[in-house]
């Protein structure tokens, strides 16, 4: 499937069991700074459809050049009507919510600047790994705007209300170490090692049972906002579902037999 603003590379990981698992490396490429124009959203929409249709288990997303995604396309937003702005915001919501809810695991390898919509894209991923030179922030208030692609909601869920309010209201840029400290990044890597480190994390995910990973993502995403009794009941339902298939039985047998599981 042809894309205008991104490229994909299918890659193969070798697991401890000797089996192989495929994943996809996605590189956003919308010069000069990978701005999130409407066309990028449409490419991401096609990408998610393609990944899901191919039953791809995992994708790593990074950016070409110095930026992961420097933000929304300001030239496209200038002069928007109220109605057009709402359509634009809802487009971002739809695509990033598709990422978040997809059975595909998304790792954001944040290689450089990730401002505004770029940070909102990274926050829709399941795991965020930052290059040590990365800088992120939500500068929308300096433009007379607020984050419109989910940033007002996802940031506080990731780093807490106090940190989210500070970063949003001040529009302050932070580096990778601060992002790690507040829980926005899961890991920080030297820029030269970023993709290799992201691939090492991908291998850890791919080593586990595919169905278990899909259900785990679903459970994490959909259980967090429930009151604890309902959340625990939801967890028990998802946990018990895994015993209906061969995957859990193979994993348990492999553990007892002291061998790598073959999922």
Ordered by where they begin, the domains of the chain are 6-207 (3.90.226.10), 210-256 (1.10.12)
Whose tokens are 């995604």? That residue is 69
Residue 145 has a pLDDT of 98
100 as an active site residue: the answer is no
Q: Residues 60-103: pLDDT tens digits?
A: 999 999 999 998 889 999 999 999 999 999 999 999 999 999 99
Classified as helix, coil or strand, 221 is: helix
Give the integer Cα–Cα distance in Å for 47 and 26: 9
Q: What are the Cα distances from residue 180, in Å, to 5, 40, 157, 184, 218?
A: 29, 27, 15, 6, 24
Residue 201 has a pLDDT of 98
Q: Residues 117-175: pLDDT tens digits?
A: 999 999 999 999 999 999 999 999 999 999 999 999 999 999 999 999 999 999 999 99
Whole-model pTM: value is: 0.95
One of 100, 120, 237, 257 is an active-site residue; which one?
Answer: 120
52 as an active site residue: the answer is no
Average pLDDT of the residues in 198-217: 97
Q: Residues 13-24: pLDDT tens digits?
A: 999 889 999 999
Q: What single-letter DSSP state applies at residue 36?
A: B
Residue 23 has a pLDDT of 98
Residue 2 has a pLDDT of 84
User: Which one, of 85, 126, 90, 87, lies nearest residue 109 by Cα?
Assistant: 126
One of 90, 100, 140, 172 is an active-site residue; which one?
Answer: 140
* Per-chain mean pLDDT for the chain: 97
Q: What percent of the chain has pLDDT over 70?
A: 100
CB 180 within 8 A of CB 124: no
* pLDDT of 1 above 80: no
Give the integer Cα–Cα distance in Å for 189 and 198: 9
């Amino acid at each position: 499937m042809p894309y205008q603003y991104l490229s994909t590379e299918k890659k193969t990981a070798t697991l401890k069991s000797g089996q192989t698992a495929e994943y996809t490396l996605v590189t956003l490429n919308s010069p000069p700074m990978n701005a999130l124009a409407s066309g990028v959203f449409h490419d991401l929409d096609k990408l998610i459809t393609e990944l899901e249709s191919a039953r791809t288990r995992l994708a790593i997303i990074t950016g070409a050049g110095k930026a992961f995604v420097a933000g929304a396309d300001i030239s496209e937003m200038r002069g928007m009507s109220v109605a057009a702005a709402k359509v634009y915001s809802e487009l971002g919501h739809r695509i990033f919510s598709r990422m978040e809810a997809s059975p595909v695991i998304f790792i954001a390898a944040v290689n450089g600047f990730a401002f505004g919509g770029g940070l909102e894209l990274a926050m829709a991923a399941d795991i965020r790994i930052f290059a040590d030179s990365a800088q992120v922030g939500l500068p929308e208030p300096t433009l007379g705007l607020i984050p419109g692609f989910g940033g007002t909601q996802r940031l506080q869920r990731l780093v807490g209300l106090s940190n989210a309010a500070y970063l949003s209201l001040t529009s302050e840029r932070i580096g990778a170490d601060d992002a790690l400290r507040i829980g926005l990044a899961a890991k920080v890597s030297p820029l030269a090692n970023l993709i290799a480190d992201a691939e090492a994390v991908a291998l850890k995910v791919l080593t586990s049972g595919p169905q278990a990973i899909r259900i785990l993502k679903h459970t994490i995403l959909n259980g967090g906002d429930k009151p604890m009794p309902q959340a625990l009941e939801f967890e028990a339902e998802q946990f018990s579902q895994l015993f209906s298939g061969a995957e859990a039985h193979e994993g348990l047998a492999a553990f007892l037999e002291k061998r790598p599981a073959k999922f």
